[in-house]
Amino acid sequence: MTPMLRQFLWLPGVFLVLAVLADLIVTCLQAGEGRLSRAVHRPLYALVQVTARISGRRRVLSWTTPVLIIGTLTAWTLLVWIGWTLVFWSQPGALLGADSGLPATLSATFYFVGYTLSTLGLGEIVAPDPVWRIVTDVAAISGFFLLTFAITFVVPIAQARSDRRELALHLHRAGPGAQALILRAHTDHDRGLLSLTTDLHFILNRIDAAHMNSPHLHRFHDHDRQDSLDISLPALGEALLILEGGLRTGAPQGLRRALASVDSLTRTFERIHHRPLPPVPPPPDLHPLRSAGLNVAPPEDFHAYLHTHEALRRRLHAMAQAGQWRWEQIAQVQDDLE
Q: Does the structure show a pLDDT above 60 at 338?
A: no
Asked if residue 312 and residue 193 are part of one domain, the reply reads: yes
Note whether 286 and 308 are same-domain residues. Answer: yes
pLDDT mean over 307-312: 96
Residue 65's nearest CA partner among 149, 164, 157 is 157
Task: Give the ranges where 56-200 is alpha helix by DSSP (H).
Answer: 64-89, 106-117, 130-174, 178-188
> Mean pLDDT across the stretch 47-73?
94
- pLDDT class of 337 with cuts at 50, 70, 90: very low
Annotate 269-285 with b (16+ C-beta within 10 A) or e (fewer). bbebbeeebbebbebbe
Domain edge (last residue) among 129, 151, 173: 151
What's the rounded mean pLDDT across residues 99-104? 83
Asked if residue 165 and residue 80 are part of one domain, the reply reads no
User: Both 167 and 210 in a single domain?
Assistant: yes
Distance CA(290)–CA(296), nearest Å, equals 6
Mean pLDDT computed over 40-65: 94
Q: Are 69 and 98 in contact (CB under 8 A)?
A: no
Specify the pLDDT at position 102. Answer: 87
Rounded mean pLDDT, 279-289: 93
Final residue of a domain: which of 122, 151, 180?
151
338 domain-assigned: no
Between residues 188 and 200, which one has the greater pLDDT? 200
Q: How many domains does the chain have?
A: 2
Report the C-alpha gap between 36 and 193 in whole angstroms: 44
Same domain, 311 and 291: yes
At residue 186, the pLDDT reads 86
CA distance 38 to 59: 23
Please check whether residue 249 is in contact with residue 242, taking contact to mean a CB–CB distance below 8 angstroms.
no
Please state, for a pLDDT cut of 70, what percent of the chain lies above it: 98
> 317 and 208 in one domain?
yes
Does residue 179 fall inside a structural domain? Answer: yes
Residue 337 maps to a domain:
no
Mean pLDDT score across all residues of the chain? 91
Shared domain for 140 and 279, answered yes or no, is no
Q: Do 66 and 182 lie in a common domain?
A: no
Indicate whether 190 pLDDT > 90.
no
CATH of the domain at 141: 1.10.287
Task: Report if residue 197 sits inside a domain.
Answer: yes
Please check whether residues 285 and 232 belong to one and the same domain. Answer: yes
pTM of the prediction? 0.87
> What pLDDT score does 322 carry?
94
Residue 31 pLDDT > 80: no
Mean pLDDT to the nearest integer, 42-60: 93
Rounded Cα–Cα distance for residues 56 and 53 (Å): 5
Domain boundary among 103, 128, 151: 151
Tens digits of residue pLDDT in 1-19:
677 788 899 999 999 999 9
Residue 121 is predicted with a pLDDT of 66
DSSP helix/strand/coil, 308: coil
What residue numbers bound the domain in which 244 lies? 156-331
Whether 102 is in a domain gets the answer yes
For residue 2, the model assigns a pLDDT of 75
C-alpha 74/C-alpha 19 separation (Å) is 15
Q: What is the mean pLDDT of residues 37-54?
A: 94
Q: Is 168 part of a structural domain of the chain?
A: yes
Give the integer Cα–Cα distance in Å for 144 and 22.
15
Residues 269 and 315 sit within 8 Å (Cβ to Cβ): yes
Asked if residue 232 is part of any domain, the answer here is: yes
- Greater confidence (15 vs 251) lies with 15
Per residue in 113-164, pLDDT (tens digit) is 998 998 776 678 888 899 999 999 999 999 999 999 999 899 989 999 999 9
Q: Once rounded to an integer, what is the mean pLDDT over residues 251-259?
A: 91
Whether residues 188 and 129 share a domain: the answer is no
Give the amino acid at 220: F
How far apart CA 63 and CA 115 sit, in angstroms, is 30
Ranking 28-32, 169-173, 237-241, 287-291 by mean pLDDT, the lowest is: 28-32
Question: Is the pLDDT assigned to residue 89 strictly greater than 60?
Answer: yes
| Whether residue 229 sits in one domain with residue 116 | no
Domain assignment present for residue 336? The answer is no
- What's the pLDDT tens digit per position in 228-245? 999 999 999 999 999 999
Closest to 243 in 3D by CA, of 234, 235, 252: 252
Residue 81 sits in the same domain as residue 163: no
Q: Which amino acid is at 153?
A: F
Q: What is the mean pLDDT of residues 12-33?
A: 91
Model confidence at 334, pLDDT cuts 50, 70, 90, reads: low
Read off the pLDDT band of 336 (50, 70, 90): very low
- Percent of the chain scored above 90 by pLDDT? 71
